Amino acid sequence: MQCPVADTFRLIPSFSAVGQMPFLDFLLEKNPIMRVGPPNLNSVAMIELGSLGARQQGKDEKFDPAVPDLMQHFIGAKAAYPDLVDDNTIMGYMMIPLLAGADTTAITIRAVFYFLLRNPAMYRKLQDELLAAGLDTDTPALYRAARALPCKSRFAEKAKVAVF
């Protein structure tokens, strides 16, 4: 199975071009002779569907009810407005932040690494902080664990200033 993150990254150049020149959508994605468009999002949708199902069945081990996330708010909207929000709507809601945030997130992460690589002392300081926090180096850190680190916010702020 191909990595869904790689699929998403392959979409970015296509979205950028089509966003600037919408007629390309008819030549690439909606081509009646042969579709030449970006890779489809089936793998991302399957991950979303699995996550949504696990959450609704109470099997999402990473979910902390004390700290509701976007998915939980979407599920709450389904409970509050069942005639407007169903599981397909929630899937659409979940896809929007993934696609919308891809460019700005990538730019910010790139800027953070640029500043870290240009400043080895800060790189070591961040590395020491991550190791001292006991974060597993083999898997990505959970958002709430990374958010609690004091040093990382300074890097992100510097990156945002440089980007924006």
- Is residue 130 within 8 Å of residue 150, measured between CB atoms? no
**How many CB atoms are located within 10 Å of the residue 154 CB?**
13
Q: Tell me what pLDDT residue 39 has.
A: 62
Rounded to whole angstroms, how far apart are CA atoms 134 and 141? 10
The pLDDT tens digits for 110-158 are: 777 888 888 898 888 888 887 888 877 777 777 777 777 776 555 555 5
The pLDDT tens digits for 31-65 are: 788 877 666 666 677 888 888 999 999 999 888 88
Task: Enumerate the domain spans of the chain.
Answer: 41-163
Tokens read off for 147: 């958010």
Region for residue 34 given its phi and psi (left: phi exceeds 0; alpha: psi -120 to 50; beta: otherwise): beta
